[in-house]
Structure 1
Amino acid sequence: MRGAPSRPGLPCGSGPWAPPRPPCHCPDHPPVALSVPPQVQPGPRVLKVLVGEAVDLNCVAEGNPEPRVAWSKDGVALRGEGPEGSVHFTAIQTSHAGTYRCEASSSAGVDAWELDLRPPHWGTDETSGLLERVAGENASLPCPARVPPSLREDRRRANVSGMAGQSLTLECDANGFPAPEITWLKDGRQVGVPRGWMGSRIQEGDSGLYSCRAENQAGIAQRDFDLLVLSE
């Protein structure tokens, strides 16, 4: 018996009787990375700090590709002492006042944040820290702030005289934070008790140079009294 002739025009292995072909394994395409413009986290617009305080200005930015962060002050580029994205001040001085700008840039764009740093001038009655924050936590300060001691007419020598047997009081008013410790000295040696005044009936042997020294973690202040005891 002869076999059935194959259909003309259909190659071998094709047609409805052909075996199924194995599935096609197409190569996976990697996802396309999208560019995201830099975005700087907002921080305070105005920062008031104590002269002598340590301050860190931190700038955090996100984006794709990762943005490069740079600081400038009044338009002049800065090189921070801290890690990239931060500026560290060991002790704030009045010369540090100005407008600071953090700029984050990449091939996708630029974003920036600015703040005004204002170290106030401290007088004898200004013993509370000033800090203004508008938004964010990109600036850090020690809390509470330390204030160096200040004395009324400190660094000035007062000439004081009195008669032997007379009651005499030397006053020493000190301000600061933390509260300064008072030490009295006579001719460079500690005398009396640690308080803001020193008084007694004076004798001729009490003549000498008395110093009131106020000291805390932020500094030292001193006032001198040149005492002359007169005999009757």
Structure 2
Amino acid sequence: MSDGGMYSCVAMNPAGEARKLLHLTVFVPPSIRDSSGDSPVVVSVRVGNSVTLECESNAVPPPTITWYKNGRMVTESANLRILAQGQMLELKGAEVSDTGQYVCKATNVAGQVDKNFHLNIYVPPNIDGPVEEKIVETISNPVTFACDATGIPPPSLIWLKNGRTIENSESLELHILSGGSKLQIARSQLSDSGTYTCMASNVEGKARKSYHLTIQGTLLLRLLFKLL
């Protein structure tokens, strides 16, 4: 860089002198701040929030910066803006569809450099259906509770009975199935009555759904209890 400038060549003899001026420009290939080569910078944001990807580049002459998402050139839209001569990409109200691989390319006559990003859009857990349900079942019949939970990243699921965590191995009649999305009582007993809660959690939060289960005796048993 310091070698750039005006240079003059002077030729002299007894008859006089001649001069020629030369202007030297030293081109510098682009560099990007905090670039980690081929390893992407991982950026995570909650759905609905804003996020900015930065591509601060220096070069001589100043580089042209172009953004790509999943291999396709990015164009501005209602929720996406390219700012500061391309050095910032701003997403407002991030959506799940914004997830992907982003690349900024800084280019000038001396070369090109890339910076890679992987953008994750996280979604808090949600469980289908009402938050609470009441179930009445007859003794000895099977009972199945569903916990259809969604979220990004996929939420982990645990089941509780009356506030106490249920372990899959604690009863031969009680089974946690389908990765936690179902809880089954194979042969219900009166003692199975209570509140069963599914809790779904990920880095963005928690969701829960409760079932209030009442196990009734058979008609014959109920008549016997009335007679006693």
TM-score by length of 2: 0.48
Whichever structure has more strand as a proportion of its residues is 2
Higher helix share: 2
TM-score, normalization: structure 1?
A: 0.47
* Structure showing greater Rg: 1
